[in-house]
Amino acid sequence: MLLTVDGLRVSYHTDEGIVRAVDGVTFSLDRRETLAVVGESGSGKSTLALSVMGLLPKTARVEGSIRFLDRELTTMREEELRRLRGDRMTIVFQEPMTALNPVFTIGRFMRDIYLTHREGSEEEALSLAREWLSKVKVPGPDKVLNSYPHELSGGMRQRVLIASSLMLEPDLVIMDEPTSALDVSVQAQILRLIAELKSQVEASFIFITHNLGVAAAVGDRVAVMYAGRMVEVASKEEIFSDPMHPYTKGLLRAVPKVSGGEVEPIPGSVPSLVNPPSGCRFHPRCPLADERCSEEEPELRKVRPGHWVACHKVSG
């Protein structure tokens, strides 16, 4: 296994109380595998991503284990983490502008990534940067290397960041809503690019999105998160053909269909993570909930090979 997350809990200590943003998450990721993590806003997706990258704010408390390349990340020294980050594991965020330094050219930005982690010359750095800009289909890579971030469109900036995240051939790439800040037509282009790149590189991906349709388009497996917990994990085929958790079924009904037809949003909203509902956190919104659901927290359990569900109402 490349990555094994076991019993991960992350809480933020705030004036309003303790926010239990991730509350008992367990999963693993194989080499060359893509796990899509899907859930509504506030379900803990970014917190999960930041914990793996070791980028949580100081106010966060982490329990449980994150093993990457056979090393425990939760207790690793910052200096060692920094060596892994940007090299063996990288992250692409939603808003490409904030990840780039406005006063540096793209060439300088990409060169710095290379020289931070490799012993090589400036020429080697720039030639690798040029090569990767071509791989992500940036037209005129030389011109882009000499451009400043504000001179590029949002889609181009995101391509630059994708190139930067892959340039050193990392083992793990996390993408946190990489297309959500882009125009719909550009989103589709970037998703196509990511799907193509997946087959060309050795990396494993964690792809975060709130859109189940997007999750299935890029993921080999899909993990559905609700209020800080994973409620269903299955292959993308099974998530569509045989969704089991009432929340996953709700998300599916909320995906716009090419054929048209009604989109049904799930009634209600993600609960507060300061004081989450007792028992199954989805029970206040669940059409199937009974007394047990409001009292007893369901564990994520295997109902068939490769298909895991946390729901009292699912048999098997």
Where along the sequence are the contacts to ligand ATP (CB under 6 A)? 12, 14, 19, 21, 39, 41-47, 57, 59, 210, 273
Query: What does 12 interact with, of Mg ion, ligand ATP, none (CB < 5 to 8 A by kind)?
Result: ligand ATP
Residue 91 or 138: the one with the smaller Cβ distance to Mg ion is 91
Residue 49 or 136: the one with the smaller Cβ distance to ligand ATP is 49
Shortest approach of Mg ion to residue 121 CB, angstroms?
38
Query: What does 42 interact with, of ligand ATP, Mg ion, none (CB < 5 to 8 A by kind)?
Result: ligand ATP
DSSP state of 227: T
Helix (H) / strand (E) containing 231: strand 229-235
Shortest approach of Mg ion to residue 151 CB, angstroms?
28
DSSP state of 257: P
Shortest approach of Mg ion to residue 45 CB, angstroms?
5
Q: Which pair of tokens denotes residue 180?
A: 């959500």
Neighbours of 139 (CB within 10 A): 10
Q: Which pair of tokens denotes residue 101?
A: 């330094």
Instruction: List, in order, residues 6 or more apart from 127 with CB less than 8 Å away.
Output: none
Query: What does 190 interact with, of Mg ion, ligand ATP, none (CB < 5 to 8 A by kind)?
Result: none
Q: Is 189 exposed, middle or buried (0-12, 13-18, 19+ CB in 10 A)?
A: middle
Q: Which pair of tokens denotes residue 142?
A: 């030389």
Residue 209 binds to Mg ion (criterion: CB under 5 A): no
The partner residues of 205 in beta bridges, in order of sequence, read: 34, 173
Q: Are 307 and 234 in contact (CB under 8 A)?
A: yes
Residue reference for tokens 């090419």:
258
Closest CA to 137 of 158, 114, 151: 158
Shortest approach of ligand ATP to residue 46 CB, angstroms?
3
The partner residues of 60 in beta bridges, in order of sequence, read: 12
Shortest approach of ligand ATP to residue 176 CB, angstroms?
7
Query: What does 14 interact with, of Mg ion, ligand ATP, none (CB < 5 to 8 A by kind)?
Result: ligand ATP
Shortest approach of Mg ion to residue 110 CB, angstroms?
25
Residue 44 or 246: the one with the smaller Cβ distance to Mg ion is 44
Residue 46 or 179: the one with the smaller Cβ distance to Mg ion is 46
In the set 34, 46, 90, 209, which binds Mg ion (CB under 5 A)? 46
